[in-house]
Amino acid sequence: MSHPASTTTADTAATEQRFAALAAAMRAIAIEAGILTERMRMAGVPPETKEDGSLVTPADRASEALIKAAVEGIRDAFDDILPPTTTFVGEESIEAGDTPNTTDGHFFVVDPIDATKNFVQGTPGKDLYTINIALVLDNTPVLGVIHEPVSGDLIATLDRTQSVLSRPGKPDTPLTPGVKVDSEGKPLP
pLDDT per position as a tens digit, 166-177? 999 998 888 877
Q: Is the pLDDT of residue 64 over 80?
A: yes
Q: Identify the burial level of 57 via C-beta atoms within 10 angstroms of its C-beta, where 0-12 means exposed, 13-18 middle and 19 or more buried.
A: buried
pTM confidence score = 0.88
- Tell me: the pLDDT tens digits for 132-144? 999 999 999 999 9
Sheet of 154-157: strand order equals 87-90, 107-114, 130-137, 140-147, 154-157, 163-166, 173-175
Q: Is the pLDDT of residue 3 over 50?
A: no
Interatomic CA distance for residues 107 and 97, integer angstroms: 17
What percent of the chain shows pLDDT beyond 90? 56
Interatomic CA distance for residues 176 and 155, integer angstroms: 12
147 versus 175: the higher-pLDDT residue is 147
Mean pLDDT of 146-174: 90
- pLDDT computed for residue 2 by the predictor: 39
Measuring CA to CA, how many Å separate 28 from each of 18, 23, 33, 38?
A: 15, 9, 9, 15
Interatomic CA distance for residues 71 and 118, integer angstroms: 26
- pLDDT computed for residue 13 by the predictor: 87
Tell me, what DSSP letter sits at residue 188?
Answer: P
According to DSSP, the residues that pair with 157 across neighbouring strands are: 163
Do the beta carbons of residue 145 and residue 154 sit within 8 Å? yes
Strands (E), 45-162: 48-49, 55-56, 87-90, 107-114, 130-137, 140-147, 154-157
Q: Is the pLDDT of residue 85 over 70?
A: yes
- In 3D space, the residue among 27, 24, 16 whose CA is nearest the CA of residue 160 turns out to be 16
